[in-house]
C-alpha cells in the first residue's frame, strides 16, 4: 500500500517523498480516509506508530482545498499537553505545508515564555494553531485569536488532555468552539474513564484501535533489575559506564529527584541534566537539543518527557522510579525502539516496589524476570506476610526519628490500624 492510494493531494505526496516516506503505517492507513471523509475519529495506537501524520496529512489536505473565509479566524486547532510536543507537531505540519501551493499559516503557542511575540506572530491571522491549553486560553483572553469558526479539533495525547489536570481548561476551550466541527482524538492509551468522556465529546466517532502487530511492534528489550532503593544511583552509574550507553533517558517521579540524580551523576563525571516543568523554556529546549545531537549523554526527566517526544535512535530508557500507572509505563518505554530501531528499557525495582511492578506486568501481559547485578545484590529483606496479631507499633517519636518524611502515604498506619494494635497489645 502506498500513500498515493489514500486520496491525498499531489503536493502532500511530494512532501512525503522528500522525507523518504512511501508506505503508510497501520494507524495512518485506517485513519486518513476516515478523516478525509469528515468523520470524527478516536484512534489508539502505540507510541512511534505515526499518529502525527495520521491526523496531520488529512488536516492539511482539507485546509488546502478550501479558501479561508476570514484570515483572522483559526480553521484548525491541535491541542497537546506539553510545550515540547507542541514544537514537534508544529515542525511536522510546517514541513508538510511548505510543499502546498496555497500558503497555510501554522502557529505554535505554549506557556513558559512571553506571550507578546506569540500575539505579534498571529497579528495577520493564522490557519492552524498548535497549542497547550493554558496559553491558548490566555491568547483568547487577549483577543489575539478567535475559535468561533474552527472546523477541525485535534487532541494529540488525548488521554492526558482529558485527565483531571487539563479537564477544566479543555471544557472552557470546547465552549468557545462551534458545535459543528470535526473532532479527532489520538493517543497511545485510553483509560476507561477517559474513553467515556471522549465519547461524550465526539459525534458517532469511528473507533480505531491498533494493536501492535509483529511487524510494527517496537523492538524493545525489557529488563527489571532488583536493587535496594538507596543504591539505585550507584547502579545507574555502573550501568552507564559498564554498558557504555551513549545516550540514556532516565525517568524519575519528581523534579527534586531529577535534580538530585543529575547532580550525583555529574559528580561522577557523567554529563547529565535534569528535565522537568520547573525549568525555563530556554533551558528545556537546550537540554533536548543537546540530547538529540548527542552532546548530552544522560537526561533525568519527569513524566513530562514521556509523551510524544521523538528522539531519534535513543538506545536506552531507564525507570529509576516506577511510573504511577501502567499507561505511563507504555509512554515511557516508547521513547526508545522508534522508527524500526532496537531499544532497551530497564526498570530499577526494590522489594518495596516489586508488587507495583508485577501489577504493571499484569496490565500489559508481560513477563519480565527480576534479576540482580553482581555487586548490587539487595541487602534489604523482602517483606513477609504476617498472620495473626498485628505487630506492635513503635511510638510516634521513634517513627519520626526513623522516617524524617513521616512515612509513605498509603503505608502509614491508619487510626483503625492503631486501635487494632492497641487492642492486640492489651490482649497479650
Q: Cβ(309)–Cβ(88) under 8 Å? A: yes
pLDDT reported for residue 160: 80
Residue 13 is predicted with a pLDDT of: 93
pLDDT of residue 217: 66
Angstrom distance (rounded) from CA 277 to CA 141: 24
Nearest 5 degrees, angle CA 420-CA 425-CA 427? 95
Question: Is 386 among the domain residues?
Answer: no
C-alpha cell at 354: 516489586
* Boundary of a domain, candidates 354, 371, 388: 371
Q: How many CA atoms lie within 13 A of 222 on its CB side?
A: 20
171 and 189 both lie in a single domain? yes
Q: How many residues are given for the chain?
A: 428
Residues 203 and 225 reside in one and the same domain: no
The confidence score (pLDDT) of residue 402 equals: 39
Which one-letter DSSP state was computed for residue 395? P
pLDDT at 394 (0 to 100): 43
CB 146 within 8 A of CB 17: no
- Residue range(s) defining the domain that contains residue 401: 396-427
Q: How many domains does one find in the chain? A: 3
- Same structural domain for residues 110 and 38? yes
Shared domain check, 198 and 233: no
Determine, yes or no, domain membership for 278: yes
Q: Are residues 228 and 203 in the same domain?
A: no
How far is it, in rounded angstroms, from Cα 248 to Cα 345? 10
180: domain CATH number is: 3.40.50.300
* Placement of cell 494493536 in the chain: 211
**Per-residue confidence in pLDDT tens, the chain, 428 aa:** 789 899 999 999 999 999 888 899 999 999 999 999 999 999 988 777 889 999 999 999 999 877 655 666 899 999 998 888 999 999 999 999 988 888 899 999 998 889 999 999 888 889 999 999 999 999 999 999 999 999 999 999 888 887 756 878 888 998 999 989 999 999 888 877 677 777 778 899 999 988 654 445 678 899 999 999 999 999 999 999 999 999 999 999 999 999 999 999 999 999 999 999 888 888 988 998 999 899 999 999 998 888 767 787 899 999 999 998 888 898 899 888 876 778 999 999 999 999 999 999 998 888 899 999 999 999 876 665 544 444 444 444 344 343 434 443 444 555 555 555 554 554 44
d(CA 287, CA 282): 9
| Whole-model pTM over 0.75 | no
The CA distance from 400 to 406, in Å, is: 6
Query: Within this chain, do residues 359 and 272 fall inside the same structural domain, yes or no?
Result: yes
Instruction: Answer yes or no: do 19 and 162 share one domain.
Output: yes
Joined together, the cell numbers standing for residue 53 give 501524520
43 and 11 within one domain: yes
CA distance 356 to 322: 8
Whether residues 91 and 166 fall in one domain: yes
- Do 187 and 266 have their domain in common? no
DSSP 371: E
Amino acid at each position: 500500500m502506498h500513500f498515493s492510494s489514500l486520496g491525498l493531494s499531489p503536493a502532500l505526496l511530494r512532501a512525503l517523498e522528500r522525507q523518504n516516506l512511501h508506505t503508510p503505517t497501520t494507524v495512518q492507513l485506517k485513519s486518513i480516509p476516515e478523516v478525509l471523509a469528515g468523520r470524527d475519529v478516536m484512534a489508539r495506537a502505540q507510541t512511534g506508530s505515526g499518529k502525527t501524520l495520521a491526523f496531520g496529512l488529512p488536516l492539511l489536505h482539507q485546509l488546502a482545498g478550501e479558501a479561508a473565509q476570514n484570515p483572522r479566524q483559526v480553521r484548525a486547532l491541535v491541542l497537546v499537553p506539553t510545550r515540547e510536543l507542541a514544537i514537534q507537531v508544529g515542525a511536522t505540519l510546517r514541513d508538510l505545508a511548505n510543499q502546498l501551493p496555497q500558503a497555510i499559516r501554522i502557529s505554535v503557542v505554549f506557556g513558559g515564555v512571553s506571550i507578546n511575540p506569540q500575539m505579534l506572530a498571529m497579528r495577520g491571522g493564522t490557519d492552524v494553531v498548535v497549542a497547550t491549553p493554558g496559553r491558548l486560553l490566555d491568547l483568547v483572553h487577549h483577543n489575539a485569536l478567535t475559535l468561533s469558526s474552527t472546523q477541525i479539533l485535534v487532541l494529540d495525547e488525548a488521554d492526558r488532555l482529558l485527565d483531571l489536570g487539563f479537564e477544566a481548561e479543555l471544557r472552557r476551550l470546547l465552549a468557545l468552539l462551534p458545535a459543528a466541527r470535526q473532532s479527532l482524538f489520538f493517543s497511545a492509551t485510553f483509560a476507561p474513564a477517559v474513553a467515556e468522556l471522549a465519547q461524550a465529546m465526539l459525534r458517532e466517532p469511528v473507533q480505531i484501535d491498533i494493536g501492535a502487530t509483529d511487524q510494527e511492534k517496537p523492538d524493545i528489550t525489557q529488563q527489571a533489575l532488583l536493587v535496594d532503593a538507596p543504591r539505585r544511583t550507584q547502579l545507574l552509574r555502573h550501568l552507564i559506564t559498564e554498558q557504555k550507553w551513549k545516550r540514556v533517558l532516565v525517568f524519575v517521579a519528581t523534579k527534586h529527584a531529577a535534580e538530585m540524580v543529575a547532580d550525583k551523576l555529574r559528580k561522577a563525571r557523567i554529563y547529565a541534566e535534569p528535565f522537568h516543568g520547573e525549568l525555563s523554556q530556554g533551558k528545556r529546549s537546550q537540554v533536548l537539543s543537546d540530547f538529540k545531537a548527542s552532546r548530552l549523554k544522560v537526561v533525568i526527566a519527569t513524566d513530562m518527557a514521556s509523551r510524544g517526544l521523538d528522539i531519534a535512535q535513543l538506545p536506552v530508557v531507564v525507570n529509576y522510579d516506577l511510573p504511577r500507572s501502567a499507561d505511563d509505563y507504555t509512554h515511557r518505554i516508547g521513547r526508545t525502539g522508534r522508527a524500526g530501531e532496537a531499544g532497551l528499557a530497564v526498570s530499577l525495582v526494590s522489594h518495596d516496589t516489586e508488587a507495583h511492578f508485577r501489577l504493571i506486568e499484569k496490565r500489559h501481559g508481560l513477563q519480565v524476570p527480576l534479576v540482580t547485578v553482581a555487586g548490587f545484590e539487595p541487602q534489604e529483606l523482602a517483606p513477609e506476610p504476617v498472620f495473626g496479631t498485628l505487630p506492635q507499633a513503635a511510638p510516634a517519636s521513634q517513627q519520626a526519628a526513623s522516617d524524617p518524611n513521616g512515612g509513605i502515604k498509603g503505608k502509614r498506619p491508619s487510626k483503625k490500624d492503631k486501635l487494632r494494635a492497641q487492642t492486640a497489645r492489651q490482649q497479650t
